[in-house]
Protein backbone atom coordinates (compact mmCIF):
# COMPACT_ATOMS: atom_id res chain seq x y z
CA UNK A 1 0.00 0.00 0.00
CA UNK A 2 1.44 3.37 -1.01
CA UNK A 3 2.49 6.25 1.24
CA UNK A 4 -0.69 8.20 0.41
CA UNK A 5 -2.71 5.72 2.45
CA UNK A 6 -0.27 5.62 5.31
CA UNK A 7 -0.31 9.42 5.47
CA UNK A 8 -4.11 9.77 5.32
CA UNK A 9 -5.39 6.96 7.50
CA UNK A 10 -6.55 8.32 10.89
CA UNK A 11 -4.17 6.05 12.82
CA UNK A 12 -0.99 7.34 14.43
CA UNK A 13 2.32 5.55 14.63
CA UNK A 14 1.79 3.27 11.61
CA UNK A 15 4.81 1.01 11.10
CA UNK A 16 3.49 -1.22 8.31
CA UNK A 17 0.36 -2.11 6.31
CA UNK A 18 0.40 -5.79 5.37
CA UNK A 19 -1.94 -7.46 2.81
CA UNK A 20 -3.88 -10.38 4.30
CA UNK A 21 -6.72 -12.69 3.33
CA UNK A 22 -10.05 -10.88 3.67
CA UNK A 23 -12.59 -12.66 1.49
CA UNK A 24 -13.67 -12.11 -2.10
CA UNK A 25 -15.39 -8.73 -1.69
CA UNK A 26 -12.77 -6.48 -0.11
CA UNK A 27 -9.04 -5.92 -0.14
CA UNK A 28 -7.81 -6.56 3.40
CA UNK A 29 -4.76 -5.46 5.37
CA UNK A 30 -3.30 -5.60 8.85
CA UNK A 31 -2.13 -2.23 10.14
CA UNK A 32 0.81 -2.54 12.52
CA UNK A 33 1.43 0.43 14.78
CA UNK A 34 3.86 1.08 17.58
CA UNK A 35 1.26 0.03 20.14
CA UNK A 36 -1.43 -2.05 18.43
CA UNK A 37 -2.82 -3.81 15.34
CA UNK A 38 -5.91 -2.97 13.28
CA UNK A 39 -7.88 -4.58 10.48
CA UNK A 40 -8.26 -2.45 7.33
CA UNK A 41 -10.86 -3.18 4.64
CA UNK A 42 -10.68 -1.41 1.29
CA UNK A 43 -13.23 -1.39 -1.54
CA UNK A 44 -11.64 0.09 -4.64
CA UNK A 45 -13.56 2.65 -6.70
CA UNK A 46 -16.30 3.00 -4.10
CA UNK A 47 -17.62 5.93 -2.12
CA UNK A 48 -17.47 6.67 1.59
CA UNK A 49 -20.88 5.06 2.14
CA UNK A 50 -19.81 1.59 0.99
CA UNK A 51 -19.21 0.35 4.55
CA UNK A 52 -22.03 2.27 6.23
CA UNK A 53 -24.34 -0.73 6.70
CA UNK A 54 -21.63 -3.01 8.08
CA UNK A 55 -20.33 -0.25 10.35
CA UNK A 56 -23.77 0.49 11.77
CA UNK A 57 -24.38 -3.21 12.28
CA UNK A 58 -21.11 -3.62 14.16
CA UNK A 59 -22.02 -0.59 16.29
CA UNK A 60 -25.31 -2.29 17.14
CA UNK A 61 -23.37 -5.45 18.00
CA UNK A 62 -21.40 -3.33 20.44
CA UNK A 63 -24.60 -1.98 22.03
CA UNK A 64 -25.79 -5.58 22.36
CA UNK A 65 -22.48 -6.51 24.05
CA UNK A 66 -21.75 -9.13 21.38
CA UNK A 67 -18.11 -9.96 20.75
CA UNK A 68 -17.15 -8.64 17.32
CA UNK A 69 -14.66 -6.21 15.80
CA UNK A 70 -15.33 -2.60 16.78
CA UNK A 71 -15.41 0.19 14.24
CA UNK A 72 -12.47 2.58 14.58
CA UNK A 73 -13.04 4.70 11.48
CA UNK A 74 -14.33 4.64 7.93
CA UNK A 75 -13.93 6.98 5.01
CA UNK A 76 -12.55 7.40 1.51
CA UNK A 77 -9.03 7.91 0.19
CA UNK A 78 -8.20 8.51 -3.48
CA UNK A 79 -11.62 7.27 -4.58
CA UNK A 80 -11.49 4.04 -2.55
CA UNK A 81 -13.70 3.32 0.47
CA UNK A 82 -12.11 2.02 3.65
CA UNK A 83 -13.07 0.87 7.13
CA UNK A 84 -10.72 0.31 10.07
CA UNK A 85 -11.68 -2.26 12.71
CA UNK A 86 -10.09 -3.43 15.93
CA UNK A 87 -7.90 -6.47 15.44
CA UNK A 88 -9.02 -9.80 16.92
CA UNK A 89 -6.33 -12.41 17.56
CA UNK A 90 -7.62 -15.76 16.34
CA UNK A 91 -7.12 -18.96 18.32
CA UNK A 92 -7.38 -22.58 17.27
CA UNK A 93 -10.24 -23.98 19.36
CA UNK A 94 -13.37 -22.86 21.10
CA UNK A 95 -16.74 -23.92 22.43
CA UNK A 96 -19.73 -24.35 20.14
CA UNK A 97 -21.85 -24.06 23.27
CA UNK A 98 -20.42 -20.59 23.91
CA UNK A 99 -21.04 -19.71 20.25
CA UNK A 100 -24.70 -20.74 20.59
CA UNK A 101 -25.06 -18.52 23.65
CA UNK A 102 -23.42 -15.61 21.82
CA UNK A 103 -25.79 -15.84 18.85
CA UNK A 104 -28.75 -16.09 21.24
CA UNK A 105 -27.50 -12.93 22.97
CA UNK A 106 -27.35 -11.18 19.61
CA UNK A 107 -30.93 -12.19 18.81
CA UNK A 108 -32.21 -11.10 22.22
CA UNK A 109 -31.32 -7.54 21.22
CA UNK A 110 -34.58 -6.29 19.70
CA UNK A 111 -35.42 -3.13 17.82
CA UNK A 112 -37.22 -0.94 20.39
CA UNK A 113 -39.44 0.39 17.58
CA UNK A 114 -40.43 -3.22 16.76
CA UNK A 115 -39.85 -2.52 13.07
CA UNK A 116 -38.10 -4.83 10.63
CA UNK A 117 -35.36 -3.73 8.26
CA UNK A 118 -32.32 -1.49 8.52
CA UNK A 119 -31.13 2.02 7.74
CA UNK A 120 -29.19 0.76 4.73
CA UNK A 121 -29.97 -1.73 1.95
CA UNK A 122 -28.25 -5.08 1.60
CA UNK A 123 -25.95 -4.19 -1.29
CA UNK A 124 -24.29 -7.49 -2.06
CA UNK A 125 -21.85 -7.71 -4.98
CA UNK A 126 -24.29 -9.76 -7.11
CA UNK A 127 -27.76 -8.91 -5.83
CA UNK A 128 -29.21 -6.19 -3.60
CA UNK A 129 -32.21 -6.19 -1.28
CA UNK A 130 -34.35 -3.36 0.05
CA UNK A 131 -34.16 -3.07 3.85
CA UNK A 132 -36.52 -0.09 4.25
CA UNK A 133 -38.22 -0.15 7.63
CA UNK A 134 -41.59 -1.91 7.83
CA UNK A 135 -43.95 -3.41 10.40
CA UNK A 136 -43.98 -6.73 8.53
CA UNK A 137 -41.31 -9.42 8.46
CA UNK A 138 -43.23 -11.03 5.60
CA UNK A 139 -42.76 -7.82 3.61
CA UNK A 140 -38.99 -8.01 4.10
CA UNK A 141 -38.55 -11.71 3.52
CA UNK A 142 -41.20 -12.68 0.96
CA UNK A 143 -41.94 -9.54 -1.04
CA UNK A 144 -38.48 -7.98 -1.07
CA UNK A 145 -36.22 -11.04 -0.99
CA UNK A 146 -37.90 -14.19 -2.27
CA UNK A 147 -39.86 -12.36 -4.97
CA UNK A 148 -36.77 -10.44 -6.04
CA UNK A 149 -34.82 -13.69 -6.30
CA UNK A 150 -37.57 -15.18 -8.45
CA UNK A 151 -37.28 -12.20 -10.79
CA UNK A 152 -33.53 -12.71 -11.08
CA UNK A 153 -33.99 -16.43 -11.76
CA UNK A 154 -36.44 -15.63 -14.56
CA UNK A 155 -34.06 -13.01 -15.99
CA UNK A 156 -31.26 -15.58 -16.11
CA UNK A 157 -33.55 -18.29 -17.51
CA UNK A 158 -32.51 -20.73 -14.77
CA UNK A 159 -35.91 -22.42 -14.29
CA UNK A 160 -38.57 -23.95 -16.47
CA UNK A 161 -42.32 -23.47 -16.01
CA UNK A 162 -42.67 -26.44 -13.66
CA UNK A 163 -39.95 -25.12 -11.36
CA UNK A 164 -41.50 -21.66 -11.30
CA UNK A 165 -44.88 -23.17 -10.44
CA UNK A 166 -43.29 -25.21 -7.66
CA UNK A 167 -41.71 -22.06 -6.26
CA UNK A 168 -45.08 -20.30 -6.34
CA UNK A 169 -46.59 -23.19 -4.34
CA UNK A 170 -43.72 -22.97 -1.85
CA UNK A 171 -44.29 -19.22 -1.58
CA UNK A 172 -47.94 -19.84 -0.62
CA UNK A 173 -46.80 -22.18 2.17
CA UNK A 174 -44.30 -19.62 3.45
CA UNK A 175 -46.84 -16.79 3.40
CA UNK A 176 -49.39 -18.83 5.33
CA UNK A 177 -46.83 -19.94 7.89
CA UNK A 178 -45.47 -16.44 8.47
CA UNK A 179 -49.00 -15.05 8.76
CA UNK A 180 -49.46 -17.40 11.73
CA UNK A 181 -46.06 -16.81 13.31
CA UNK A 182 -45.32 -13.85 15.59
CA UNK A 183 -41.93 -12.61 14.43
CA UNK A 184 -39.90 -10.24 16.59
CA UNK A 185 -37.40 -7.75 15.19
CA UNK A 186 -34.13 -9.24 16.46
CA UNK A 187 -30.72 -7.91 15.55
CA UNK A 188 -29.45 -10.33 12.89
CA UNK A 189 -26.00 -11.07 11.61
CA UNK A 190 -27.55 -11.53 8.17
CA UNK A 191 -24.85 -13.84 6.76
CA UNK A 192 -24.26 -16.33 9.56
CA UNK A 193 -22.35 -19.13 7.89
CA UNK A 194 -19.33 -20.97 9.28
CA UNK A 195 -16.83 -18.56 7.72
CA UNK A 196 -18.17 -15.56 9.65
CA UNK A 197 -17.36 -16.56 13.19
CA UNK A 198 -14.04 -17.25 14.88
CA UNK A 199 -12.64 -18.29 18.21
CA UNK A 200 -10.23 -15.91 19.89
CA UNK A 201 -6.97 -16.92 21.55
CA UNK A 202 -8.78 -17.21 24.89
CA UNK A 203 -11.36 -19.52 23.27
CA UNK A 204 -14.22 -17.02 23.26
CA UNK A 205 -16.34 -16.89 20.09
CA UNK A 206 -16.64 -13.73 17.99
CA UNK A 207 -18.79 -12.76 15.01
CA UNK A 208 -17.68 -10.67 12.05
CA UNK A 209 -18.54 -9.60 8.50
CA UNK A 210 -22.27 -9.02 9.08
CA UNK A 211 -24.94 -8.08 6.54
CA UNK A 212 -27.11 -6.63 9.31
CA UNK A 213 -30.83 -6.10 9.63
CA UNK A 214 -33.57 -6.46 12.20
CA UNK A 215 -35.68 -9.50 11.44
CA UNK A 216 -36.90 -12.90 12.55
CA UNK A 217 -34.05 -14.70 14.30
CA UNK A 218 -34.83 -17.94 12.48
CA UNK A 219 -33.38 -16.25 9.36
CA UNK A 220 -29.88 -16.47 10.85
CA UNK A 221 -30.41 -20.04 12.01
CA UNK A 222 -31.39 -21.05 8.50
CA UNK A 223 -28.06 -19.75 7.23
CA UNK A 224 -26.20 -21.89 9.78
CA UNK A 225 -27.78 -25.04 8.30
CA UNK A 226 -26.60 -24.67 4.71
CA UNK A 227 -22.82 -25.07 4.68
CA UNK A 228 -22.09 -26.60 8.09
CA UNK A 229 -19.70 -25.36 10.76
CA UNK A 230 -22.23 -25.48 13.63
CA UNK A 231 -22.48 -28.52 15.89
CA UNK A 232 -25.45 -29.97 17.83
CA UNK A 233 -23.97 -28.28 20.92
CA UNK A 234 -24.43 -24.90 19.22
CA UNK A 235 -28.16 -25.47 18.61
CA UNK A 236 -28.77 -26.98 22.05
CA UNK A 237 -27.09 -24.03 23.78
CA UNK A 238 -28.94 -21.52 21.59
CA UNK A 239 -32.34 -23.07 22.29
CA UNK A 240 -31.63 -23.28 26.01
CA UNK A 241 -30.62 -19.61 26.12
CA UNK A 242 -33.44 -18.36 23.86
CA UNK A 243 -36.01 -21.12 23.23
CA UNK A 244 -37.48 -21.34 19.74
CA UNK A 245 -41.22 -21.26 19.08
CA UNK A 246 -43.22 -24.23 17.83
CA UNK A 247 -42.74 -24.87 14.14
CA UNK A 248 -39.24 -23.39 14.05
CA UNK A 249 -37.81 -26.36 12.14
CA UNK A 250 -40.35 -25.88 9.35
CA UNK A 251 -39.63 -22.19 9.08
CA UNK A 252 -35.84 -22.58 9.25
CA UNK A 253 -36.13 -24.51 5.99
CA UNK A 254 -37.56 -21.32 4.41
CA UNK A 255 -34.35 -19.50 5.22
CA UNK A 256 -32.17 -22.36 4.01
CA UNK A 257 -34.05 -22.13 0.72
CA UNK A 258 -33.47 -18.38 0.60
CA UNK A 259 -29.71 -18.73 0.90
CA UNK A 260 -29.65 -21.52 -1.68
CA UNK A 261 -31.63 -19.30 -4.06
CA UNK A 262 -29.08 -16.51 -3.56
CA UNK A 263 -26.35 -18.95 -4.54
CA UNK A 264 -28.39 -20.20 -7.49
CA UNK A 265 -28.58 -16.62 -8.78
CA UNK A 266 -24.88 -15.99 -8.12
CA UNK A 267 -23.35 -19.27 -9.25
CA UNK A 268 -25.92 -20.92 -11.50
CA UNK A 269 -27.23 -24.44 -11.88
CA UNK A 270 -24.69 -26.09 -9.57
CA UNK A 271 -27.22 -25.18 -6.83
CA UNK A 272 -30.31 -26.36 -8.73
CA UNK A 273 -30.50 -29.77 -7.02
CA UNK A 274 -30.14 -28.31 -3.51
CA UNK A 275 -32.87 -25.76 -4.22
CA UNK A 276 -35.20 -28.49 -5.54
CA UNK A 277 -34.58 -30.61 -2.43
CA UNK A 278 -35.38 -27.70 -0.13
CA UNK A 279 -38.57 -26.79 -2.00
CA UNK A 280 -39.71 -30.43 -1.95
CA UNK A 281 -39.12 -30.58 1.80
CA UNK A 282 -41.16 -27.42 2.42
CA UNK A 283 -44.07 -28.81 0.41
CA UNK A 284 -43.84 -32.21 2.09
CA UNK A 285 -43.77 -30.65 5.57
CA UNK A 286 -46.84 -28.55 4.68
CA UNK A 287 -48.80 -31.67 3.70
CA UNK A 288 -48.13 -33.18 7.12
CA UNK A 289 -49.71 -30.24 8.93
Q: What is the pLDDT of residues 217-240, one digit of tens each?
A: 999 999 999 999 999 999 999 999
Q: Is residue 35 over pLDDT 80?
A: yes
Q: Is residue 1 over pLDDT 80?
A: no
What homologous superfamily is domain 96-287 in, according to CATH?
Answer: Aminoglycoside phosphotransferase (APH), C-terminal lobe (3.90.1200.10)
What pLDDT does residue 24 have? 67
The CATH classification number of 3-86 equals 3.30.200.20
Q: What is the mean pLDDT of residues 25-29?
A: 89
Comparing 17-26, 32-41, 96-105, 269-278, which segment has the lowest mean pLDDT?
A: 17-26
Q: What is the mean pLDDT of residues 168-177?
A: 98
Taking CB atoms within 8 Å and a gap of at least 24, the contacts of 128-133 are 131/213
Q: Is residue 22 over pLDDT 70?
A: no
Length of the chain: 289
Residue 124 pLDDT grade (very low, low, confident, very high; cuts 50, 70, 90): confident
Q: Is residue 47 over pLDDT 70?
A: yes
Rounded distance, CA 173 to CA 135, Å? 21
Other beta carbons within 10 angstroms of residue 49's beta carbon come to: 13
What pLDDT does residue 161 have? 98
Residue 183 pLDDT grade (very low, low, confident, very high; cuts 50, 70, 90): very high
What pLDDT does residue 123 have? 87
Q: Is residue 23 over pLDDT 80?
A: no
Q: What is the mean pLDDT of residues 155-165?
A: 98
Q: Is residue 79 over pLDDT 90?
A: yes
- Domain spans in the chain, listed from the N-terminal domain onward: 3-86, 96-287
- Active centre residues (catalytic): 191
Comparing 2-11, 72-81, 126-135, 147-156, which segment has the lowest mean pLDDT?
A: 2-11
39 closest CA partner among 79, 1, 71: 71
What pLDDT does residue 258 have? 98
Q: What is the mean pLDDT of residues 105-121?
A: 97
Tell me the pLDDT of the chain averaged across its residues.
Answer: 95
Amino acid sequence: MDKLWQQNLPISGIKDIVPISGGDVNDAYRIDTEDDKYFLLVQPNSSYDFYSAEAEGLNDFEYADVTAPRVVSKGEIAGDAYMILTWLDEGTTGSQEALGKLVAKLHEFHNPDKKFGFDYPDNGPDIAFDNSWTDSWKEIFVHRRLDHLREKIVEKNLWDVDQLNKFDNVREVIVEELDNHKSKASLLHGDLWGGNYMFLKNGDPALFDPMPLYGDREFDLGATRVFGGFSPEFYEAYDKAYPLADGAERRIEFYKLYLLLVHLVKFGLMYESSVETSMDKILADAKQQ
